[in-house]
Amino acid sequence: MDRGYVNARVRGMRSRIVSNDFIIRLIDDPDIESLIDDLELSYFREDIERSSLLYSGINCVEQALRRNITRNFQKLFSLVEGKEWESLIEIFLSKWDIANLKTIIRSKKIHARPDEVLECLVPAGSLDEATLIELNREPDVRSVINLLATWRIKYAIPLTRTMKDIKDSTQTFLLEYALDHYYYDRALSLLSKETYDNSILRDLIKTEIDLVNLKSLLILARDKISPADAEHIYIEGGNQTKRIEFLRILENNLIDDLVEYCKKTGYGLFQDISRDSILLSRVSAFEREIDRFLVKKGVSCAYNDPLSIGLPLSYLWEKFNEVTNIRIIAWCKETGLTDEQVREELVYV
């Protein structure tokens, strides 16, 4: 694989990501219409023009952003398809597959209309639009899994295995957990070989596992969930989190243990965390810090070897961050939040 060529293309794509000045200009826009006008001046023009044919206002922006992220991720995937980085990029993009499959499973449970569900699917991963449409047409969860198995799509493995334990429709969340575990297990097994590229992504995934476990623990401790109910939520493979400790904190339900655990596994994020901050703050406030940390870590992958997977990974995180920030600004403009409130909610600038 010509790493130089791929990286040059990625650098080109990266140069089109909007600058911080542009983001600040969007924050200063008085309303959603001027924000759309500004976006039309950026490389979002094509997406805005296309979505404005069908939508207006905030819906136009949301649709354009979804289209933009799908288009760019697929473009990057096409650059590495059939080459040595394919599996690495695919690991990152699988998140969208997992999200799409979860949406389809949930919709089958409540018999939602297929057209209503289709709006919620983003074909940014390895499952393309045609596959998702076909899966969405299936009448129930079992048929969806059967179709995945027939087409030999990898996600059929955890779903088929877990489907045996499902007693009624209220337990379909077990399928979701099976998908989550499969995503992280598969990622770590694909990255088990000791190479420079693998080590970059592995470190990222392991950090993500630690932070996901930390977030889960905060939520579970808040709701006083018993270890028996929480056992399937813990994800193996993190750098610093240990199952036995995770379950012990839930068993004892002591805030001091939780504070200690957060300090230890928070990657320096929660050094100032205290009993009061856990009792008074919402978990979303901690999650915002976790999101910012992960995005920063993802973006900083670009500081590795210039010809490594670091640059494409960094681009994926930057793109995700860019789209999220523009969406936050657009929604705040739509509902009239102040500039300060907008800045507070931004993921990472």
Partner 1 sequence: MQQCSPTRMELQKINSQVVLAIQGRDLLRQKMDALIQEFFLIMESATRSRDELEKTAEDARRALLIARAVDDTITLKSASFATKRSVVIDIHGRKVMGINIPVLEKKSFRKTVIEREYSIIGVSSRIDETAEAYEKELDLVIGLAETETALRKISHEIEITKRRVNALEEVVIPELKETGRYIRTTIEEREREDIFRLKKVKKILQKKKEKM
Q: From the CB of 198, what's the least distance to partner 1, in Å?
A: 23
Tell the smallest beta-carbon distance from residue 182 to partner 1 (Å).
Answer: 12
Identity of the residue, 9 or 297, whose beta carbon is nearer to partner 1 in the bound complex: 297
Report how far apart, in Å, the C-alpha atoms of 284 and of each of 75, 226, 345 are: 33, 21, 11
91 and 205 in contact (C-beta within 8 Å)?
yes
Residues 64, 39 contacting (CB under 8 angstroms): yes
Nearer of residues 161 and 193 to partner 1, judged by Cβ = 161
Cβ distance 108 to 140 under 8 Å?
A: yes
| Least distance to partner 1, CB of residue 45, Å | 21
Q: What is the DSSP string of 81-93?
A: TTSTTHHHHHHHH
Sign (positive or negative) of CA dihedral 282, 286, 287, 289: positive
* Surface-to-core class of residue 65, CB atoms within 10 Å of its CB (0-12 exposed, 13-18 middle, 19+ buried): buried
Give CA–CA dist 131/146, Å, rounded: 13
* Cα distance between residue 178 and residue 31, in whole Å: 43
Q: Could you list the residues that contact partner 1 (CB under 8 A)?
A: 62, 66, 98-99, 102-103, 106-107, 109-110, 112, 117, 119-122, 170, 172-173, 176-177, 179-180, 212, 215-216, 218-220, 223-225, 229-230, 233, 235, 282-284, 286-287, 324, 327-328, 330-332, 335, 337, 345, 347
Quote the DSSP letter at residue 110: T
Q: Are 311 and 76 in contact (CB under 8 A)?
A: no
Give whichever of 70 and 160 is closer to partner 1, judged by the CB atom.
70
We find the least distance from the C-beta atom of residue 270 to partner 1, in angstroms, to be 15
Q: Which is nearer to partner 1, 23 or 302 (CB)?
A: 23
User: Judged by CB, which is closer to partner 1: 122, or 307?
Assistant: 122
Cβ distance to partner 1 smaller for residue 177 or 267: 177
By beta-carbon proximity to partner 1, the closer residue of 206 and 309 is 206
CB atoms within 10 A of CB 24: 13
The residue behind tokens 């089109």 is: 16
CB atoms within 10 A of CB 164: 6
Within a 13 Å sphere around the CA of 250, how many CA atoms are in the beta-carbon half?
Answer: 24
What is the nearest approach in angstroms of partner 1 to the Cβ of residue 329?
8
Toward partner 1, which CB reaches closer, 2 or 119? 119
- The least CB distance from residue 120 to partner 1, in Å, is 4
Query: What is the rounded CA–CA span in Å between residue 62 and residue 119?
Result: 12
| Separation CA 50–CA 207 (nearest Å) | 38
Cβ 330 to partner 1, closest distance in Å?
Answer: 8
211, containing H or E segment: helix 196-222
Give the shortest CB-135-to-partner 1 separation in angstroms. 14
* Smallest separation, CB 24 to partner 1 (Å): 17
In the bound state with partner 1, the residue whose beta carbon lies nearer, of 149 and 174, is 174
